[in-house]
Each structure stands twice: as C-alpha cells, then as structure tokens.
Structure 1
Amino acid sequence: MSAPLHVLHVSTALRWSGAADQCLALALAMDAAGDRAPVACQPGSMLHLRARAGGLRTLPVLMRGPGDVAAARTLRGFVARYGVPVLHAHDRRARALSALASLGGRALRVATRRHVGPTPAGLLGLSRRGLTALPSRLGVDRWVAVSSRVAAGLSASGVRVQDVQVIAPGVPVDSDPARDLATRSRTLPPLGLAGHRGPLIGTLQRLDQRQALDPLIASVHQLRRRWPELRVILAGEGEQRQFIQAQVARERLSDVILVPGWVDDGPALLAALDAYVAPGCAEGDRVSLASAQAAACPLVASAVGDVPSLVEDGCTGLLVRPGDSAALTAALERLLSHPEWANGLGQAARRAARERSSLGAMVQGHRRLYAGAGERDPGARGLPSLVAP
C-alpha cells in the first residue's frame, strides 16, 4: 500500500462549476484513501460548504484576484505551518495565487488546465509565453491536462512535454441511474415543473461565453410545433446566466426554457431528462458530458474540440455541426421520436463513461502524479518527500 500523500487543493470558485466539482471529488476521494487533502476556498462558497459537509479540512481564504498578496500570504503560512509538500491549483486565479504563495519555497506546484488556448500569466506582469515557458521556475511545476488536445495546446505554448500529464475528468459511475417517473416526480417540482409529463431536454454546465444559445432557441421554436409541452432546463451558473435569461425572455420562451441556476442533485436532473443538449462545448465541459453519459442520458453535442473523442456519433450520442440549428433540431427529433433507440444510446454512453471517465481512474492518476513528480526531477527545486509527515 502506498504512503499517504499531503496536498493542498486551491480553488477560487465562488459558484459551483465543473472545476469545483472535480476539486471536491478529488479531495474527498483522497481523504477516504487516508491522504491529507485540505481545500483552500472562498469563504461561504458552495465548495466551502460542501467540503465541510464532507468532513474535509478547509482553509477559507478571501481570494479577490490572481494578484491578491494577502491571500497568497495566508496560503504560504498554511503551507509552512503544516509542511504541505504539494499545492494543486484548480483554476487560473488559483494558479497565480499558488505561484505567489510558493515563491522561494519548496512545494511542488500542480495546476489543472481545462481549455485550449494561451495560458494567461496573471503574475508579475510576465507575458503569456514567458510564464508557460518556465513552468519549473515560476508558476507551475506539473500540469494536468483534461485531454490530449489541451496537452497539445500547453506544449505549443512552451510547456515541456514531460511536465504535462493527461488525466480525464472523473464522475461517479458505480450506481445505476433511475430513469423513471419517480425520479421526475422528485426532481421537477422544485423547478416549477410538478406533474410535467411532456418531453424534457436540458443541460447542466457552466453558463459562459462558450454556450451557443441561438441554435438551441431556434430548435426549441421548431420542436414546440410537434411537442407543445416541451420544456428545456439550462441549469448552471456562470457569467452569461443573466444574458441567457434576458434572451429567453425576448424570445417569449420564459415558460419553456428555465434557467434555474445550479441544481444540487445534478445526477437526478440528468436522469430525469429525455435528452441532454450541448450545442456549444469546450474541453472544460468534459465533466458535464461525462456526467450526462454516466446518467445514461441520450445526448446531442457539437462536434468541436475533443468532443468527438467522447461522443461516438450514432453509438453513444449524436454529433452536429456547431451553430447548425437545423441539424440540432433533427437530432433532437430523432431522440424524442424514438425513445427506445435513444435509451440504447444512453446505455452505450454509460458503458463508455465507465471505461473512460471513472472517478477512481481520475483519482489514481492524480495520486501517481503527486507521488512521482518529485522522483522524476528530484534536484530541480530541492523538493521534499511528497508523503505526509
């Protein structure tokens, strides 16, 4: 049995998101395995509340931005006091704060990257390439990429290949989802849909600039001609939530498209849907897609980025061209018109998720990274032992 690890997980998330979900899932699993996995998070945030409810040790720190010196000083004090050998930053601001907190120190800096694109510096005025090209000297020692495409983007930005580990997001896949009327009866009333028996499609993900709302709205107008009782749930938080609500209101669809914010029981919502729709996706949405697959929910997604590696068109879901409302409408019509066939797609997707996106595989990948990173380059920064003292 491997020795226990000691890792401080850092997240600046104020609202719930896929990144916060993965941070919490990883910390809880490590704690259950006997590791020490405290979580530094925003006071009163959903992550803070859920981490405490799960019995994790938390470090509530008000983190105002990537250059918050006071927050970095608090993190640095915690690391020094408890001899934390590894800091894992789960978002961009956390990465910058962890870098500040570890300047001149010996802790290993790990950061998760979820999107393709330039890595912003956010620290000491360095250029984007300047920071990413020097991961062993400033900012990050080891990167976790959620996909091979993200890893390639990091490499193109100057990060050494040996400093990047691809670890796919993990979701619970052990229990079979109950896709029945009982689940709907329990899940829909809090959303104002008590007694709803019509078609139900939706999504559960971060609502930001990556969402392609126009094709979905156009599809909803078309689908309602055949299914007047159709309802759509766009669950999640994000910068664009208010914009989405306003656009839905302008289209006079407020009674059809619901934007309730984050839903606590995400698996139950996914199990209640007839179809999961993701017209605009990015690598960071892999958690959402994997969660839908784990819930055996038939899904339609845009063929962008790494999505085709997650969704096999016609086998584990349906893929459409980005921005093509006609193709999106046709795909949703297929799922809603042929529920038994759609259920088969959902079951196949669940089997694929069990093989590719299990929570256990994600946790083991991180534990190997934490335990082996110092051994691969022991003299680079005078790293201490990565096992808990």
Structure 2
Amino acid sequence: MNRPLRILHTEAAKGMGGQEIYIFRHMQVMRARGHDVALLCQPDARLATRARDDGFTVHTLRMGGMGRLLRGIWSVSRLVRRERYDVVNTTSRRDALIAAAGARLGGTPLVVRSRHLMSPVNSLLTYTGLPHRVITVSNFVKQLLADRGIPADHIGIVPPMAVSPTGIDAAQEPSWQALQETRSRVRAELGFDEQDIVVGCVAVLREPKGHAELLQAMVPLCKANPRLHLVVVGDGQAVMQRLQATCAEHELQRQVHLLGFRSDASQLMPGFDIFALATHKEASGTVFLEAAQAGLPIVSHRVGGVPEMLVEGSNAILTRLGDSAALTGALRLLVDDPERRRQMGRSGWDWIRSAKRFSPEGHAEATEHYYHQWMKELGHG
C-alpha cells in the first residue's frame, strides 16, 4: 500500500439503504487499512448515527435548495482546507454538487464521484465537470457511463464486498458447520422449525426492487405448501401497503412475514433456505454477495450488474424480467428440492471465499489503487 490518505466521504440521503450500507462498510475497511476516513452527511441521516457510533468523525450539513447549495459549497471549501483531505469522494447528485464544488474550490487533490445506480445520468456536471474521476460498482454501469459520454479511462470499477453475518473481519467468518448452527438459532428466533421452508428477501421497499412481483410468484407456491414462508426485510410505506393488501387478498398473512427495517438484516439471512429478489434494475447488488456468504441459493432476474455478483447455474437461477411463470418455476425448483438448495448454497459459499475482488481486502486494494493512480495522474503522486 502507498501512504495512508485522509479521505472524506459525502452522502445526502437520510435513509439507510444499500448505497448507505455500502459507504459505511467501505469506510470501515479503509480505516482498517490505515486511512483516516471521515463522513459528511445531513444531520438527521441514519448513516450519520451509525458512523458516529462506530467511531468515525462525522461532519453534518443540511442539503437541498439553492441557498443551502451556495452556503454548503463555501462550508465544504473551508472544511477541506482545514482538514487537508487528500480525497473527497461524493455519492449522490445533491452532495456531489456541494461537496465536489467545495472540494475543488478548497484545493483537494482528488475529487471522486461514486456511482452505485444504473438509472440514466441526466446531467454530466457531477461526473465530468466537478469531480476528477468516477468509481462505479460493475462493468455494466461503467459501460452505461461511457455510453453517456464520460471518458472510459476516467472510470474505475470497485465491486461491493461480501460481508459475513459476523461483520467485515475475515478472521471471524464462520465455518460451514457454524453457519448451520447460526441457521438453527435464527430460525428459532423467527419462529420457524426445520420443516418450514423460508424464502427471504432483503431490500428497501421500492417498486424497482420487485417485491410485488416476488409475492405474486409466491402465491401459488404458498397455497400448495402451508409450510412455505416468505420473509421480507425492508421498509417503504407505499410498497408495504401494497404487499399487505396482496397478503389479505390471498389470505397469506400466516405465511408472509413483513418485518420492516432491521439493522441486523444480514444476520437474519442464514435463517433462510432461499434468497429471492425480483429486482427490475440493479447496478450490482451487495445483497447477493451477502446471500452467498449466508450459504443460500439465489433466485433473481438477469438484469444490470446482477450476473456479475453471482455464478448463474451454480449458486443462482436467473430469469428474464417480466416472465412471471419462469420466476415461479425457479422458486418451485428450489422449494421442492432440498438437496439442490444445499448444493447451490454450498457452491456459493465456497465461491465467495475464493473471489478476492469481493473480499474486504480486495475492495480496499482496488480503491487504493485508483486513488493513488489518479492522484499521480493529476500531479499529486
């Protein structure tokens, strides 16, 4: 590793979805590698609380509106001058407008924009005008950005990391036997026994995540098998109401469990038998790596960066978006075959431990490589 860096990450969102979890874990592994890492976010952000509780320095700034934009740029410029950050890494459009502009004004050597989404880029300003470089999570998203006009040699790829249910410390990763013991404990806590078959879905409740489609695919399977359950972990009022209405319509309240937001979501996953996410678009999907860490077979759609996060045919079955019959068929295949579930789950568990690019160490090394390379290119090596 080259010299340790002083790094400021920024995020405007107040919730704690996949992007915010990605940032938090990234900050943890970079700190573990010896870097001085801090966060800039809104005062009432869940990420602020979680980062502060974990010992990070957290700077807060209200974002949104022209007045706050101009005041924020000036505040960030003073902050980066005072703290002498080597890198300011922005995430969302709002914080990029403020923090990237402020960092450039304050003379930060390297300003980076991260891209964790696959939705269209409407404005290039926060990708080419303000930051020096861009980091994204998959080849799929890199190609989308390049097609939009961002120079390909200005884009780096750092995949999300696989984190075991015990955290980011690889030395604490459970053995396969220990994982099975965890499975029994979690199932007991959730109220399931060994005869129950549990399909789990962990994702913020937004329409593009496909929860409604997944539930519809589960309806005939649940009606045919009273020991089959669907557990949904994640919050989002509009989608939650729609799922509750569907459960009531089909009288599945006993078999569909809507748990809402759980800070221990990844620790619940070993208690599932199958992981399913009928996502309509996905830049990458850290949750698929978590499912592999938990030893689960995976069912999803062949969209976006999803195929880069698993091994289709080995630990996952992918179906075509919009083919509801295929989705139900893939789920039925695993529900009806416990040996296939075990084999696919073990294959994924073995694979994720051999794929260094998804490890905390590999993630940190790739990030360091780009930071130092880009600083050198910009005359700050």
TM-score range, shorter chain: 0.7 to 0.9
- Displacement of 1:287: 0.8
Residue matched to 1:112: 114
Q: Structure 2 regions of 5+ residues with no counterpart?
A: 165-169
Measure the CA separation in 1 of the matches of 2:241 and 2:55.
36
Q: Secondary structure at the match of 2:209?
A: coil
5 Å-filtered alignment, 1:123-134, equals 128-129=123-124, 131=125
Shift of 1:305: 2.0
Q: Which structure 2 residues correspond to residues 171-190 of structure 1 after superposition, within 5 A?
A: 171-173=162-164, 174=170, 175-176=173-174, 178-180=178-180, 182-186=182-186, 189=189
Q: Distance in 2 between matches of 1:158 and 1:66?
A: 27
Q: Indicate the residue corresponding to 2:51 in structure 1.
A: 51
Map 1:1-150 onto structure 2 (within 5 A).
Answer: 2-64=2-64, 68-69=68-69, 70-107=71-108, 108-120=110-122, 128-129=123-124, 131=125, 135=128, 138-150=129-141
CA contact (8 A) 1:199 1:227 kept: no
Q: Which has the higher contact order (CA 8 A, sep 6+)?
A: 1
Number of the residue aligned with 1:335: 334
Partner SS, residue 74 of structure 1: helix
User: TM-score, normalization: structure 1?
Assistant: 0.85
Provide the C-alpha distance between the structure 1 equivalents of 2:79 and 2:252, rounded to a whole number of angstroms: 50
Match of residue 155, structure 2, among 153, 164, 184 = 164
Deviates more, 1:280-289 or 1:341-350: 280-289
Distance 1:247 1:375, change over 3 A: farther
Q: Which residue of 1 aligns with 2:145?
A: 154
- In 2, Cα distance between equivalents of 1:2 and 1:164: 21
Structure 1 residues without counterparts, runs of 5 or longer: 121-127, 379-384
Report percent identity of matched pairs.
23
Shift of 1:255: 3.8
Structure 2: how far apart are the matches of 1:116 and 1:182? 34
Asked if 1:322 is matched to 2:321, the reply is yes
The one-letter code matched in structure 2 to 1:58 is V
Q: Compute the RMSD of aligned alpha carbons.
A: 2.6
Instruction: Report the Cα offset of residue 238 of structure 1.
Output: 4.5
Paired residue for 1:278?
277
Superposed displacement of residue 43, structure 1: 2.3
Give the aligned partner of residue 361 of structure 1. 362
> Is the contact between residue 276 and residue 298 of structure 2 (CA under 8 Å) also seen in structure 1?
yes
Structure 2 equivalent of residue 201 of structure 1: 199
Q: For the residues of structure 1 that align with 2:313 and 2:268, how far apart are their CA atoms?
A: 23
In 2, are the aligned partners of 1:66 and 1:93 still within 8 Å (CA)?
Answer: no
Deviation at 1:216, TM superposition (A): 1.7
Name the TM-score, length of structure 2 as normaliser.
0.87
State which drifts further: 222-231 or 170-179: 170-179
Specify which structure has the higher proportion of helix: 2
Taking a change above 3 Å as real, the CA distance of residues 367 and 244 of structure 1, as seen in their structure-2 partners, is farther
Letter in 2 for 1:111: R
Contact conserved, 2:6 with 2:37, CA < 8 A, in 1?
Answer: yes
Residues in 2 aligned to 1:285 and 1:151: alpha-carbon distance in whole angstroms: 11
Corresponding residue for residue 258 of structure 2? 259
The aligned amino acid for 2:218 is V
- Note the C-alpha offset of 1:82: 0.9
Distance 1:38 1:157 in 2: 31
1:228 partner letter: P
